[in-house]
Amino acid sequence: MADRSKRDGFGLEDKVAIVTGGGAADDGIGNGRAAAILLARAGARVLVVDLDRTRAERTVALIMQEGGTAAACVADVTDESQARAMVDTALAQFGRLDCLDNNVGIGGRGSVVEVTPQNWRRVMQVNVDSMFLASRHAIPAIKETAGGGAIVNVSSISALRPRGLTAYSTSKGAVIALTRAMAVDHGPDGIRVNCVAPGPVYTPMVYSRQMSPAGREARRKASVLGIEGTGWDIGHAVRFLLSAQARYITGQTLVVDGGATLVGPARAPE
C-alpha cells in the first residue's frame, strides 16, 4: 500500500511539529491532542508538550499505537526558559523543526469591573505570552533547520463575538493580532503564520466543568448546521494550515464553529 501521508498530499512526511497543550484527560480528544494525532497520521514527527506528563505521554501512546512517531515534553510555556528548552528538546529528539501549534489557553469570565487584576494578568500570560515565548524560540529554529515552515495560533470566536468573557475575549483578540503581525514579520523567512478560531466545541476542558445536558444541547443548536463540534474539527483545521496544502495562506483566521458566529450573540448556558 502506498504511504498514506503521500497519498493525502499534506506534505508533512518527516516534518517535525511541536504541539503545545497536546495532552488531555484520560482518552479525551482535546484540540491539541487531535492536532498531534492528525499531524502524526500525515507523517510528521510530533513533540507533544503539556504541563502534565501523564497527559502528554498518553497522547504519545495513542500516536505510537497507530505507527506514528512522537515524544512527550513537560513544559510551562509561559516561562521563557521552559519555552526555550521545549524547542531544544524537539531539535535534540528529531534534528529539526518545521511546525508549531500554539494551543495553550485558559478561560476568563466577567467584565472589566468584575475580573480581578490578578486573573486578568493570568489570562493574558497563558493565552498570549505563551504564544509569544514559544514562537520567539521556535522561529529561529524553523528558519535555521528547515529553511521555513508554518505556525498556527489557536484563538477563539470569543475574539470575534464578545459574550461576557472579557479577559478571554481580549486575549484571543490579541492572538489574532499577533498572528497577523508574525505573518508579516516572518513571511520573508518562509514561515507562514495563521490562526484557528474554534467555536463551542465539546472537549475535555469543557466537559470537565460538568456542563449540564441543557447547556450542551444549547451549544449544539448554536451551530447553524445543528451539529456538535469536537477537538477533531479543530485538529483538522490546524493540520491543513500547517500543511503544504495551505502554502499560499498566511496571516488568516480560520473560523471553525459550525456557523455559530452567524447567529445568536448570547453565550450558551452551562
Asked if residues 58 and 89 have their Cβ atoms less than 8 Å apart, the reply is no
Is 207 a known active-site residue?
no
| DSSP state letters, the chain | ---HHHHHT---TT-EEEEET---STT---HHHHHHHHHHHTT-EEEEEES-HHHHHHHHHHHHHTT-EEEEEE--TTSHHHHHHHHHHHHHHHS---EEEE-------B-TTTS-HHHHHHHHIIIIIHHHHHHHHHHHHHHHHHS-EEEEEE--GGGTS--SBHHHHHHHHHHHHHHHHHHHHHGGGTEEEEEEEE-S-B-HHHHTT---HHHHHHHHHTSTT----BHHHHHHHHHHHHSGGGTT--S-EEEESTTGGGS--SPPP-
Pairing of strands 191-198, 253-256: parallel
Catalytic residue among 168, 202, 207, 248: 168
CA–CA separation, 267 vs 129, rounded Å? 26
Q: What angle do CA 232, 5, 252 make, to 5 degrees?
A: 55
CA–CA separation, 149 vs 75, rounded Å? 22
Known catalytic residues? 168
